[in-house]
Amino acid sequence: MKFLRILSSILSEVLVTISYLRPKDTKKKLVVEQYPDLISGRSVTDMFPKFRGHLQNDLNKCTGCGDCLAVCPVRALQMDARVERDGSVVVDSFSIDLGRCFSCGACIDICAPASITYSRKYEMAADAQAGLISVIRDKKAGSTVEAPRIRSYEVRR
């Protein structure tokens, strides 16, 4: 008797599992969307209101005070700035190590000119550790993209 109950229990569980494997079952719908889902039109603006993307800094607003650098608990921020003759500070580049940053928001809270904000981007994958460092350069100071330079003796034929 006990053996028959165990066998019927196992058989009923197997039948339930097989019912989920049938491809033409119309009672169930898919919960997971494929990526990228072109049908729903999900874009960066469709994210929920309190979404925290990665940090970004608007160098046109940034005063170069360095308060964000001092308050960052993991030292994920770095800044290269220079002082002009009139006493103003010009930020040449601002780098954010996205591998270290855990989006605590301390730098955003302390930033007086509100130049540091969260972006709406949700794709933050990289191949290597160096790909997680976001460098923001002043457009007046130079190019925003650093091109690798090949020395003449490194060229192979």
Mean pLDDT value of segment 86-91:
88
pLDDT at 51: 76
* Residue 41 neighbours by CB under 8 Å, 6+ apart: none
Mean pLDDT value of segment 28-41:
59
Of 21-35, 73-87, 143-157, minimum mean pLDDT range? 143-157
**Can you give the C-alpha Rg of the chain in angstroms?**
27
Q: Which domains does the chain have, with CATH numbers?
A: 44-137 (3.30.70.3270)
Contact between 116 and 68 under an 8 Å Cβ cutoff? The reply is yes
pLDDT at 71: 95
Average pLDDT, the chain: 78
Report the predicted TM-score, pTM, of the whole model to 2 decimal places.
Answer: 0.59
